[in-house]
Amino acid sequence: MKIKALSRSLDAHAPSSSGAPAPQSRNLDPAQHPFAQAREYTRALNAVKMERMFAKPFVGALEGHSDGVYVVEMDRTRGNVVATGAGDGEIRLWHLPTRSLLQSIPKAHNSIIQSLCLSPLTFSSSSSNGLGSRRLLSCGTDRTVQMWDANPDSGRIEAAMDDDEEDGARDEDGTIGWLKDRKLKRTEPLLTWHSKVAFNSLTHHASSPIFASASTSIQLWDLSRGQSSSSSSSSSSSSALQTLRWGTSTGSSSDTSSINVVRFNQSEPELLVGLGSDRGVNLYDTRTGGAVNGITMSMRANDAAWNPIEPSVFTLASEDQNLYTFDIRNMKSATQIYKDHVSAVMSVAYSPTGQDLVSGSYDRTVRLWSVGRGNRSRDVYHTSRMQRVFSTAWTGDARFVLSGSDDGNVRLWKSQASEKLGVISTKELKAAEYREALKKKWGGTATTPSGGGVGEITRIAKQRRVPKAIKGAQGLKRTMEKAQRVKGERRRKHTREGERKPQSARKKAIVGEKK
Amino acid sequence: MARGKSSGSGGSGSGGGGDNHSPRNAQMESIRSHTRLPTSLQQSAPLQGVRPPKSLSLSSIPDKKLRSNLSRDALSTLRARSHATQADTYLYQGPVGEEAGQLEAEGEMERTARLTQGEIKDAVGLEAASKSFSLDLSGGRGGVGLGPYRSAYSPNGRQLLLAGRAGHLASFDWQAGKLNCEIQVKETVRDATWLHNSSFFAAAQKKHVFIYDSAGAEVHRLKEHVDVHRLEFLRYHFLLCSVGGGGWLKYHDTSTGQMVAQHRTKLGACDTLAQNPLTAVLHLGHGNGTVTLWTPNLPQPALSLLAHRGPVSGVSVSPRDGGREMATSGMEGGIKVWDCRLLGRGPVREWVSRKPANEVQYSQRGLLATAWGTHVSIYDTKAPLSSRAPPGPYMTNNFPQSSPVSLAFCPFEDVLGVGHSRGFDSLLVPGAGEPRFDSMELDPFEGRTARREREVRGLLDKIRPDMISVDPSFLGQVREDATKGGAPREEAGPSGLARAQDGTPYARLGRLERLRLEGKAANDGSDSDEEDNHDEDSNAANVAIPSSGPPPPQKERKKARGKNTSMKRYLRKKRGNVVDQASMQVQAKLQRAREEHEERRERKERMARGEGEEQREPSALDVFAVQKKGRRRR
C-alpha cells in the first residue's frame, strides 16, 4: 500500500529572518482563483471611478494681462517658456514651472496682437549688447511685424528666480525687479518689418532664418533684413523675399480676400498651409512659389495645426463647430471629424507626440481629443470664469495644455485630468499602469454607441458635467442635426431613386477643390 | 527567422536558389526550433498556428473595429493561457516534498478503505501524523457533553471553529494548538462559520445570529436573522447567508451591514445549505426532496430539482471542474452525484448507503466525504467504474457510540474535520487537500500584516451581489442578441437604436411599435401553445428553469379555449417540480384528453380525404391496439 500525506515544512514558507519578505507560492490553476473575471471587473470599475474622482485638471492661471489673450505660443526649443499676446497690444513671456512672469512688453503694437512666433534658431548673444539668444516675432493689425529679444537665457532665469524668492519685490506692472534697469531697452523692438496691409498671422520656418506672414497674400521674409529701430532711416530695404499667391500669377482673384492663418510644416519645411477668409484652405510650396493644392470648405477655418509625427496630416479648427483632419495627399475628403463643440472652434494644437489634440472654442470650453477617435472628445475643461477661448497650446512634455481666453487669463491644465503630479513612487506608478490596463480591457475602445465596454464602465468614464448653457446648446444641436437628417431622409424618399444620395459627413464640408 | 534563412543559404554557397523543399531547408527547420527565442520573451509574438476562434459570435459582428479588438483579445487570451500553463508547470512548482498526498492499493487484495487512521499515522511522517487527533468533549464518564459539535475551518485552513449544540464556542489555531477563544453562550448554537478571515466568526444561536471577534467578544447581533439553522459565508461578496426554520433565505452584507436580499423559499424549514465555491450560487436542500439553487437577484430559485424521494440531508458542490459536480444525500438513503449542466438527465452516479447520510462534503481535490450512521466514508467520484456496482469507499472510519453530524475538509491540508456528539476528530485523508496554495489568494502561513493587506484588498475587490449568476462566464462575453438577432448595423440608427422594418428611425415610431421593437409587446399571431410544449418534455419535468430570455413572461390571459382549461391552469399554478398525487392525476387526465382529441382529429382528416374507416382492412392485431390504449389509460 502506498501511503503519502501532504506535509508542509515551515522552512519553506516562513520568512528566512524577521523582516525578510515572506516566500510566495503561486498556483495558476483557475480553480484556485474563483471569480477572477468578476473581481477584475470590480477593480476596473473602481479604477474608472477613481479616475473620475481625482479628475482635477486645473493647475493654475497666469494672471496679469489686462485684456483678452488672443495668442498663446510655446517656445519649442525651451519647453518651459510661453509667450502670450493680448488685445491691448501687450506681449508677455512666462516661465511655466514657476508660473511667473519673465518679461512684459506693454504696447508692443498699437493694436491687438494677431500672432506671435518664437524663433527656433539660436542668435548670437553677448554681454556687450545685452541680448539673449532667443527672438520673438509679433504682428498686429498696425501693419508691422516686430522682432523682440525673447528673453534672458537660462542662467538669468535662475537669477531672476532667486531674486524673486529673496525679496519677492515686483513692480506694479508685474515685471521682476532686475528687468527694471533695461526696461526701456527691452520694450523696443530689435527689428521691424512694414507693410501696406495688416498682418494676420506669422509662422517661422523649421530651420532657416525665414518667416512667413499672412495678409492679403502670404509673404516670406528674411529674419535678418528688417528695419532696425536704432537706424532712423526708414528707407532701408525690408521687402519680402517671396510672395506666394494662388497659381503664382499676380493679381488673381484671391487677392481680394485675405489670408487669416498661415502655418509652416515643421517636418516638411517648405510646405505651408494658409487659411483664407474666402473659406479656402490652400497648400503652398516655397520652392515652386505658389499653391500646390487647395479646397474650399463650407465655412471658414479659424486655425490649423500640422501633426508633428505625420508630416502629411493637418487639422483645421472650423467655424462650423467641428475639427477636420486632412491628409494632403487626398484632400477630397477629411480623414477624421471631431465634433463635440457647440460653437465655433477658435484654435487647435497637436501634442508633441501627435497622439492628442486640444481645441479651444467660442463656447468657453477647451476640449481634448485622442487622434483618430473622433466623434466624442476625450475630455472637456471649463471654469465658471473662463470666457471664449481663442488660443491653445501644448507644453513640450505633452503633459500640460495652455489656454488663453477672452477674460485675460492664461490657464494651465493637465492633459490627463486625473494624473498625479509630483514625485510618484514605483509602486504608485505600477498601480496606475495596472489601472490603465484594466480600463483599456474592460472599458472598451470601440467607437460604437455603447462604447464596447462592460456594464457601467463606459458610462462612468464618459460622464462629464458641463455648464448649463453648453448642455442646452448640445440639446439644441442634437435636435437640429436630427431635423436635418429627417429632412434629408424625407427628401430622398420623394425623389427619384438614386438621384439624391446621402453624402458622407467627411465630404459634405468640402465645397470645392482647386487644382 | 528570415535572417537565419538568408545567412544559411549564403553560407552554403551551393546556390541552390529558393527551393523550399530542398534538404538544406529541412535542416534549417530542425535548427530553428532550438534557436528560437525562449517563450518567456515572446509575450507579444503570435502563437504558432493559433488563429482566433471562428465562433459565430465573432464573425457575425458587423463593427470592424470591435471585431478586430475582440479577436485580438481572444488571441491574447490563448497566448496568456499557454504561458500560464508553462509558468505553472516549470516555475511555480511547490517545494520538494510538498506533493499531493495519495493512497494507492498495490495488489488485487488490498483495499484502501480497510486502512485505519492508526495505520495511516504510522505510515506518514511525524509532522503529518500530528494532524490526526481526537478531541473528547463528551464530558468524561457520566459527564454531560455540550455536543453534537459542528466545525468550520477558516478560509486559509489555519483556524478551526467548534460550535457545540449546547452553547460551547471555541476557536483555535489547530496546527499550533493555540486557543484563541472559548466561550459559553448559554443557549443553543446550531451552526457557526468564519467570515472573510479568522478575525470574525458568526454563530446561529437560539433566536438570532451573532458575530464574535477572534477574542470571543460579541460584536453584532443580527436580529433580522431569526431561527437560523445553517449559515454560509460568500467570501468574495462579503455576504453572510442564512436559512432556517421559517424557510427564509437571507443575504446580509457584512461589510456594509445592509440586508441584501431575503427570499422566501416556501418549502418549509431548511437545514441543508451549501455554496458553489466557484459561482457563489447557494444550494438548498428541502424536506420534500427538492434541491433549489438561489442567487440574490432572483426572488424565485434559479433552478429547482427533485433530487430525492425523502428529505434532502446534505448538499455539497465540488470546487473542481468549474463547480459542475454536485452531491446530494437524502433521508431515504440515497447518495447522488450530479452534473449541474445535465441535471435533467438524472444523477451521474448514485448509490444507497447502509444508513441515510447526514452530511456530504467535497474536498478541494474532489474527494467526497459522507457521514452515515456512526461512520464517515470518503469516496473518489472520479474513480473509473468497472461495472454498475456502487463505488467502493476510498476510506472509511467508524466513531463508536457517536454519530458524526458535520464534516469539513481543511483547505490546503489532507485533513477532514468530523464533528460528532462526543467531540471532534481530525482525520488524515491523503489526497484531499490542494498541495500548492497561491499566496495572492490564500496563504496558511500569512502574518498579521499580510492578513490586514488581504482584508483591505478583499474589500476593494468586493463583487456586487447582483453579479452572482448560475453561469458566471457571462461576464466579458459578447452578447449574442447584440451580434445576431437584435438589430444589424444597417438597421440600427446612429444612436444604436433599432429601426422599424420599413427603415423608419426609432425616434419617429409610435409607442406600440417601439415596445414591439424592444420586445416588450407581443407581436401579432405569436400565441403559440407554450404550455403544451412544457407538458410534453416530461423527461425533464423534475428540473424547472425559469426562462430568463429576452421575451419576458407575459401575463396569462384567461381564455376559454376548449375543455379542461381549469385543469391546465391548476397545473400551471402548481410548481412543476413538486410532485404530488393530485397533480400527477391531473397530468394523466390531461394527457388522455389530448390523445383523444388527436385521434378524433386524425379520423376527421381521414374522412375528409375520402378514405373512410372501412377502407382499412380489419386485422387480427387490432385487439392489441385496443388493449394497449386501455393500458395507457389506466
Residues 451..480 of A with a Cβ closer than 8 Å to B: which?
452, 454
Smallest CA–CA distance, residue B396 to chain A, in Å, is 15
Largest CA distance in chain B: 101
CA dist B281 and B298 (Å) reads 11
pLDDT in tens, B493-512: 444 556 666 667 676 777 78
Mean pLDDT of B607-614: 69
Task: With CB atoms and an 8 Å threshold, state whether B63 touches A448.
Answer: yes
B110 touches A at CB < 8 Å: yes
Kindly tell me if the per-residue pLDDT of B544 is higher than 80: no
What is residue A170's DSSP assignment? B
Compare all CA atoms of chain B with the CA of A29 and give the residue at the minimum distance: B88
Per the prediction, chain B carries an average pLDDT of: 81
Q: Say which of B101, B322, B473 has its CB closest to residue A6.
A: B101
| CA distance, residue B126 to nearest chain A CA (Å) | 9
Calculate mean pLDDT across residues B307-332.
Answer: 93
Q: Decide if pLDDT at B545 tops 70.
A: no
Are B98 and A446 in contact (CB < 8 Å)?
no
Residues of A in contact with B95 (CB under 8 A): 9, 12-13
Pairing of strands B200-205, B209-213: antiparallel
* The pLDDT of residue B3: 40
Q: Which of A33, A442, A447 has the CB atom closest to B65's CB atom?
A: A447
Give the SS3 label for residue B192: strand
Chain B closest CA to A432's CA: distance in Å? 15
Q: Which residues contact B282 (CB under 8 A, 6 or more apart)?
A: B232, B241, B249, B273, B274, B275, B276, B293, B294, B295
User: Which residue in chain A has the smallest CA separation from B67?
Assistant: A446
Determine the distance in angstroms separating the CA of B123 from the nearest CA of chain A, rounded to an integer: 6
Please state which of the ranges A278-282, B106-110, B249-253 shows the lowest mean pLDDT: B106-110
Which B residues in the span 402-431 are in contact with A, Cβ-Cβ below 8 Å?
Answer: 413-414, 428, 430
C-alpha cell at A475: 440639446
Task: Note the pLDDT of residue A438.
Answer: 92
A2 closest CB neighbour out of B104, B236, B473: B104
Task: For residue B535, give the H/E element and its range.
Answer: helix B530-536
Asked whether the beta carbons of B410 and B342 are under 8 A apart, the reply is: no
Q: Residue B408's closest CA among B429, B439, B435? A: B429
Cβ neighbour number for residue B578 with a 10 Å cutoff:
15
Confidence tier at B138 by pLDDT (50, 70, 90)? confident
A9–B127 C-beta distance less than 8 A: yes
Closest CB to A28 among B84, B443, B473: B84
Does A448 reach chain B within 8 Å, measured CB to CB?
Answer: yes
Task: Inform me whether the C-beta atom of residue A20 falls under 8 Å from chain B C-beta atoms.
Answer: no
* CA of A434 vs chain B CAs: smallest distance (Å): 14
Q: Which residues of A touch B441 (CB under 8 A)?
A: 32-33
**Chain B residue with minimal CA distance to A18?**
B447
Give contacts of A447 with chain B, Cβ < 8 Å: 65
On the question of pLDDT at B16 being above 50, the answer is no
The values of phi and psi at residue A206, to 5°, are -65, -35
Mean local confidence (pLDDT), B436-456: 93
Specify the pLDDT at position A493. 85
Residue B384 predicted with pLDDT over 80 = no
* Strand-strand pairing, B349-352 and B357-362: unpaired
Task: Check B101 against A454: CB less than 8 A apart.
Answer: no
Helices B581-609, B565-573: inter-axial angle, 10-degree rounding = 140
**What gap in Å lies between CA B143 and CA B147, rounded to an integer?**
12
Is residue B175's pLDDT more than 50? yes
Q: Any idea where the domains of chain A sit in the sequence?
A: 58-414
pTM, to two decimals = 0.78
Neighbour-count burial for A225-245, b at 16+ CB within 10 Å, e otherwise: ebbeeeeeeeeeebebeebbb
| pLDDT score at B623 | 67
Q: Are strands A336-339 and A322-327 parallel, antiparallel or unpaired?
A: antiparallel
Total CB pairs under 8 A between chain A and B: 172
Q: What is the ipTM of this complex?
A: 0.79
B chain contacts of residue A446, beta-carbon cutoff 8 Å: 63, 65-66, 69
- Give CA–CA dist A76/B407, Å, rounded: 74
**Overall average pLDDT of the B601-609 stretch:** 89
- Residue B370's pLDDT band, with cuts at 50, 70 and 90, is very high
Do residue A12 and residue B120 have CB atoms under 8 angstroms apart? Answer: no
Residue B5's pLDDT is: 38
CA distance B119 to B122: 5
* Cβ contact A132:A150 at 8 Å: yes
Contact criterion met (CB below 8 Å) for A208 and A217: no
The kind and range of the H/E element at A117 are strand A113-118
- Whether the bond between B550 and the residue before it is cis, its omega within 30 degrees of 0, is no
Q: Rounded to 5 degrees, what are φ and ψ at B193?
A: -150, 150
Nearest CA in chain B to A451: B66
Is the CB of residue A18 less than 8 Å away from at least one CB of chain B? no
Q: Are A39 and B99 in contact (CB < 8 Å)?
A: no
Per DSSP bridges, beta strands A81-86 and A91-95 are antiparallel
Alpha carbon separation from B440 to A417, B67, B81 (Å, rounded): 32, 34, 18
pLDDT over 90 at B75, yes or no: no
- How many other CB atoms are found less than 10 A from the CB of residue A466? 16
In whole angstroms, what is the distance from residue B181 CA to residue B200 CA? Answer: 11
Residues B454-457: contacts with CB within 8 Å, 24+ apart? B454/B197, B455/B196, B455/B197, B455/B199
Q: What pLDDT does B62 receive? A: 81
CB contact B433 to A (< 8 Å): yes
User: B49 or B92: which carries more pLDDT confidence?
Assistant: B92
CA neighbor of A51 nearest in space, from A419, A481, A404: A419
Residues 502-561 of B with CB under 8 A from A: 505, 507-508
Indicate the residue of A5, A29, A486 with minimum beta-carbon distance to B124.
Answer: A5
Tell me, yes or no, if A8 comes closer than 8 A to chain B by beta carbon: yes
Q: For residue B42, what pLDDT band results from cuts at 50, 70 and 90?
A: low
Residue B630 confidence (pLDDT) above 60: no
Residue with C-alpha cell 438548498?
A: B284
Q: Which of residues 184-213 of B touch A (CB under 8 A)?
A: none
Residues of B in contact with A25 (CB under 8 A): 92, 94, 436-439, 443
Q: Report residue B541's pLDDT band, with 50, 70 and 90 as the boundaries.
A: very low
Cα of B234 vs its chain's centroid, Å: 13
B279 → chain A, closest CA residue: A35
Q: To the nearest whole percent, how much of chain B has pLDDT over 70? A: 74
Q: Note the pLDDT of residue A38.
A: 93
User: Does A32 sit within 8 Å of B437, measured CB to CB?
Assistant: yes
Return the higher-pLDDT residue of B36 and A341: A341
Q: Name the residue of chain A whose CA is nearest to B321's CA.
A: A31
Q: What pLDDT sits at residue A125? A: 67
List of chain A residues with pLDDT < 70: 125-130, 151-186, 229-238, 246-256, 445-452, 515
CA nearest to B74 within chain A:
A441
- Give mean pLDDT, residues B31-56: 61
Question: In this structure, which amino acid lies at residue B526?
Answer: S
Distance from CA of A443 to the nearest CA of B (A): 11
B80: Cβ contacts below 8 Å, ≥ 6 apart: none
Q: Is B438 on the interface with A (CB under 8 A)?
A: yes
At A373 the pLDDT is: 80
Q: Is A26 on the interface with B (CB under 8 A)?
A: yes
Q: What is the pLDDT of residues B205-249, one digit of tens each?
A: 999 999 999 999 999 999 999 999 999 999 999 999 999 999 999
Class of domain A58-414: mainly beta
Interface of A with B in 264-283 (CB under 8 A): none
Q: How many secondary structure helices (H) and strands (E) does chain A include?
A: 8, 31
Q: Mean pLDDT over residues B150-179, rounded?
A: 94
C-alpha cell at B401: 457510540
